[in-house]
Amino acid sequence: QVQLVESGGGLVQAGGSLRLSCAASGRTFSSYFMGWFRQAPGKEREFVATIRWSGGNIYYADSVKGRFTISRDNAKNTVYLQMNSLKPEDTAVYYCAMSSRAYSNNYYYTRTYDYWGQGTQVAVSS
């Protein structure tokens, strides 16, 4: 099994920054890709960003493009989400996810991912 543990959430004022981390452990795959999703109260879980573990194929939701940056550290089995210029509408629980496939064009669908973390809360005050 794969375990994903997110950290780095918290309360920040609008315009501030946070960096989320997602540490992966357990069974690993020779190639896979990771994603960040978020879920605000009363809303569906939505795609934020994705990165292929081997590098490349980095995509963002339009709502975070230019403000968020996804990256990974293979040596630490960790994926990061650097969030800058935060807005109140970024408030949500943020989840990282892993797909056991090398890649999928359906990276924005939750069903594409096989493993999920428990989530970390991000709150942005106005």
Residue of 13 and 57 predicted with greater confidence:
13
Give yes or no for residue 29 having a pLDDT over 70.
no
Banded pLDDT at 38 (limits 50, 70, 90): very high
The 10s digit of each residue's pLDDT in 52-107 is 888 778 999 999 999 999 999 888 889 999 999 999 999 999 999 999 888 888 99
3-class SS letters over the chain: CEEEEEECCEEEECCCCEEEEEEEEECCCCCCEEEEEEECCCCCCEEEEEEECCCCCCEECCCCCCCEEEEEEHHHCEEEEEECCCCHHHCEEEEEEEECCCCCCCCCCHHHCCEECCCEEEEEEC
Mean predicted lDDT score pLDDT of the chain: 93
